[in-house]
Structures are given as C-alpha cells and as structure tokens.
Structure 1
Amino acid sequence: MAVTVDDLKNSLRIEITDDDEMLKTYIDTAEEYVTNAVNANVNLTQYKQFDFAVSLLAQFWYLNRDTDMAKTPYQVVSMIEQLRGLNP
C-alpha cells in the first residue's frame, strides 16, 4: 500500500483540493528520501513502517513550510532505523 494524497489529507484534516499537487510532491519526495536513507536497492513498500515514515515526513514538510526544517522528525528517523534493521 502506498501513501496517497487522500491519506495525507485525511491525516491533516484538509478538505480543499488547492494543495493536492504540493501534497503529491511531498509524498513522492518523502518516498525517495526514506528509500535512500535505508537502502536504495531494496523494495521497502512491503513494510508498514515505510508508509508510516513517508506519511509522517510529508505531513511534517506540509505543516512546516515556513520554518527551518534542518532536522528530520524523530519518528521518521526511528522508522528509518527500523527499516534498516529489516534490510541489512
């Protein structure tokens, strides 16, 4: 299962469609970010932690568009570490 724009909108309680393209970009970028942080040569989509990390990261980017995002949220880092442990 992959994270969709509708999933993200439900999590963020967004009812309008104005930001759908931005949300899709955040999802796509978060998928690449998490994949590259774990192992770009492994298919991670089978793990629930992957979708959770992608969703959390995309939500974080959306909610913090106007602030310094120097650090990845702890929850995302934790999911990445778990995925690394599943894929040595």
Structure 2
Amino acid sequence: MNQGKYVFSQIMGLISYKPFQTIVNRYSGDYKVRGFTCWKQFLCMAFGQLTHRESISDTMMCLKANASKHTISVLEMWFL
C-alpha cells in the first residue's frame, strides 16, 4: 500500500497558501463567507481540472464518490 503523499497533495503543495490568502484579503474574497472559503473552492476547482472533469456537477459527483477516500480529505467536504 502507498505510504507516501497522493499526487493531488503533491501538486497542491507547490501552491503557497499565504500569497493566495493575501490576494483574497486584498479583494475581500471571503467577505461574509461562512464555510466554503476561496481556498476550498480553489482546491475543488483544481481537483476538477486535474481529473479532466467536464463540468462543476461532474466535479461534484467525482468528489462525492471519493469522499470516503483520503485523497480529498484535505478539502474538508462539509457540503457533501
């Protein structure tokens, strides 16, 4: 069994959270957001792009199908 990081985690590790959050704060991207922050939305959209999903609903179905796996546990899928 694989004991290392998943490919999605490795790719997202290349993207720094602090500069992303600086831009979000500059443009008030998380204003009045309760749970689904810009960072979580970015992770979901990146997952859709990396898995060649054709639409947002297709991405959501894929995320729901894999919700029990550890590959997307970092997304904190509270909305599923």
Q: Which of the pair is proportionally richer in helix?
A: 1
Structure (1 or 2) with the larger CA radius of gyration: 2
Q: Same fold (TM over 0.5)?
A: no
**When the two structures are superposed, what TM-score results if normalisation uses the length of structure 2?**
0.31
**When the two structures are superposed, what TM-score results if normalisation uses the length of structure 1?**
0.30
